[in-house]
Structure 1
Amino acid sequence: MGCDGGSIPKRDELVKQKQRKAKVDQNILNRVHWFSCALSKKALSSPVVSCGLGKLYNRDAILEFLLDRTAYGDGDLICKHIKSLKDVVTLQLELNPSFSEAQSASLTNHDQEPISRYICPITMKEMNGKHRFVYLDTCGCVMSEQAMKEVPSKTCIKCTKPYEAVNVIVLNPRAEELEAMELALLEKQARIAAEKKEKKKAKANKKELEFMNGADSKLLDSTTSSSSKRKLDEATTTDSHKHKKQHTTTTTTTATLSSTHSLTAAVAAKVAEQMAVNASRQKSSAIQSLYNNGRVSKENFMNR
């Protein structure tokens, strides 16, 4: 087998072996995740936002994506869970005083260690991927995980706003943490949707109750108005009857008095007439001829 120009095959050439995963340089990954926008791949610049999965974006890129979801080729794969600006939180980042714009060009130079634009406000550590950073979705304050552990509190160390454990979001989490964060994000979105549905239902019930109360009030007002009107009509009718009765009584009394006065006048006239007749009789010449002031003037056959 020698000197014939042949070659001896190796074992890996004869036996199929499982392919090994290509190792990725961690420094390159850190530069991609911590120094550039996950969507536009441009350098991070304020304002910076983050989603529930801890990815970092430029706010301008998110706005462009929401206006046109085809603006970036892999947008639906990277941030398909972002439906509106409510799904992202604007981060309150602490600027690194050692950073300068001239050093931003070092991102393309893999031989030079880049300087992060942002640092932890408590420990002053750079946000470059070598240290774990977290943010609070209640206020957006960003700090290192070490600072949060060293100063345990129920309020934000930077702005003193209260928060719970579920409000702590890890920035650029590990692969094993990402799955758990995706499940937590789905649960949060489902809970928010259920709360919105309950609020909408409560609002509809409130409107319906107000409408029913308004209808009952109108019905009560109309009933009260009808009752009042009926009572007013009855009172008016009663008063009219009273006035009519009083007028009738007054007319009857007047007629009775007038009749009485007429009768009295007739009787008086008749008496006066009789008296006049009597007076005329007394003054009759035949009677007076019989008497001459009580003296008999001459005896005759009439007064004998």
Structure 2
Amino acid sequence: MGCDGGSIPKRDELVKQKQKRAKVDQKILNRVQWFSCALSKKELVAPVVACGLGKLYNRDAVLEFLLDRSAYGDGDMICKHIKSLKDVVTLQLEPNPSFSESHSPSLTNHDQEPVARYVCPITMKEMNGKHRFVYLDTCGCVLSEQAMKEIPSKACIKCTKPFKSHNVIVLNPKAEELEAMEQALTEKQARILAEKKEKKKAKANKKEARNMNSADSDMLDSSTVSKRKLDEATDPSKHKKQHITERTLPEPQSQRSLSSTHSLTAAVAAKVAEQMAINANRQKSSAIQSLYSNRRTTKENFMNR
């Protein structure tokens, strides 16, 4: 039976076993997540943006993706939740004083420890994957989780802008945290959409109410005019009385002052004319006045007999 070239099979060849998950080198994973864009796989260079799932992107890559969603082959799998620039937040990153271009991280050289471009402005810890970092979607400031715990506050430690607990987003979360963040992001997007619908509905109702008010005022004016015309047709005397009343209304102050000036000028002119007539009568001779006088002289002579 031996020496026939046969072999003895092993157990793992005869029995199917559960495949083990391939282990990923954490150092390589950190370099990919913290030093390169999740979309273009290029080095992270400001301006850097982050989505609601805590992934880091170059802003230029996101713009290219929004303009052409087929620009990157796996773009729809990585950031399918990004529909516009409103879905990402521009990060306010603190530069690392000890960083230089010569220390630029290399994704291929795993022997060299890279120096992070950015640090926490409070603890000065580097963003290299060894420490947990968060960002605030209200202002975009990036802080280490340790700084947030050591200095509890309801306002940003860096820019003092207020925030709430749901505004704190973990950068590059763990796999077990990602599912909860996806659910929170879905709820947030639904809430924002509902708020937009409410604002749009309120704006439409306000516009409709404004149009109704203007229509009511126009109807009121037209009804007033029609009622006046009907009154004039049924009772002309009422219309005449109204015109008389309008004519007998007191004149404005300017017209009253003008009429009083005219009356004063006429009185002065009449008085001057009267005085001139008196002066003219005085200038007549007594002889001529006697000819036209009706009085008789008492003394008679041969001239007037």
Task: Provide the TM-score with structure 2 as the length reference.
Answer: 0.74
2:240 paired residue number: 237
Aligned residues: 242
Please give the residue correspondences for 1:79-118 in structure 2 after superposition, counting only pairs within 5 Å: 79-118=79-118
What is the alpha-carbon distance in structure 1 between the residues aligned to residue 72 and residue 6 of structure 2? 54
1:247 paired residue number: none
Distance change (3 Å), C-alpha of 1:111 and 1:225: same
Q: Does 1:126 align with 2:122?
A: no
In structure 2, what residue type is equivalent to 1:181? M
What is the alpha-carbon distance in structure 2 between the residues aligned to residue 234 and residue 85 of structure 1? 74
In structure 2, what residue type is equivalent to 1:168? V
- Indicate the structure (1 or 2) with the bigger Cα radius of gyration: 1
Distance change (3 Å), C-alpha of 1:180 and 1:237: same
2:43 paired residue number: 43
In structure 1, what residue type is equivalent to 2:65? F
What is the alpha-carbon distance in structure 2 between the residues aligned to residue 235 and residue 49 of structure 1? 79
What is the alpha-carbon distance in structure 1 between the residues aligned to residue 39 and residue 13 of structure 2? 42
* Residue 107 of structure 1: how far off its partner (Å): 3.1
User: C-alpha offsets along residues 208-229 of structure 1, whole Å, 9 cap, x if unaligned?
Assistant: 0000011111112223344456
* Residue 18 of structure 1: how far off its partner (Å): 1.8
Instruction: Please give the secondary structure, in 1, of the residue aligned with 2:135.
Output: strand
Distance change (3 Å), C-alpha of 1:240 and 1:101: closer
Unmatched segments (≥5 aa) in structure 2: 245-305
Is the 8 Å Cα contact of residues 106 and 113 (structure 1) preserved in structure 2? no
What is the alpha-carbon distance in structure 2 between the residues aligned to residue 150 and residue 40 of structure 1? 35
What is the alpha-carbon distance in structure 1 between the residues aligned to residue 102 and residue 176 of structure 2? 36
Instruction: Please give the secondary structure, in 1, of the residue aligned with 2:161.
Output: coil
User: C-alpha offsets along residues 220-252 of structure 1, whole Å, 9 cap, x if unaligned?
Assistant: 2223344456667754434799xxxxxxxxxxx
Instruction: Please give the secondary structure, in 2, of the residue aligned with 1:12.
Output: helix
What is the alpha-carbon distance in structure 2 between the residues aligned to residue 60 and residue 18 of structure 1? 43
Identity among equivalent positions (%) equals: 79
What is the alpha-carbon distance in structure 2 between the residues aligned to residue 106 and residue 58 of structure 1? 17
Unmatched segments (≥5 aa) in structure 1: 242-304
Instruction: Please give the secondary structure, in 1, of the residue aligned with 2:38.
Output: coil
Is the 8 Å Cα contact of residues 93 and 118 (structure 1) preserved in structure 2? yes
User: C-alpha offsets along residues 32-64 of structure 1, whole Å, 9 cap, x if unaligned?
Assistant: 100000000000000000010000000000001
* Residue 103 of structure 1: how far off its partner (Å): 1.8
Instruction: Please give the secondary structure, in 1, of the residue aligned with 2:214.
Output: helix
Task: Provide the TM-score with structure 1 as the length reference.
Answer: 0.74
What is the alpha-carbon distance in structure 2 between the residues aligned to residue 98 and residue 225 of structure 1? 84
1:144 paired residue number: 144
CA RMSD of aligned residues (A): 2.3
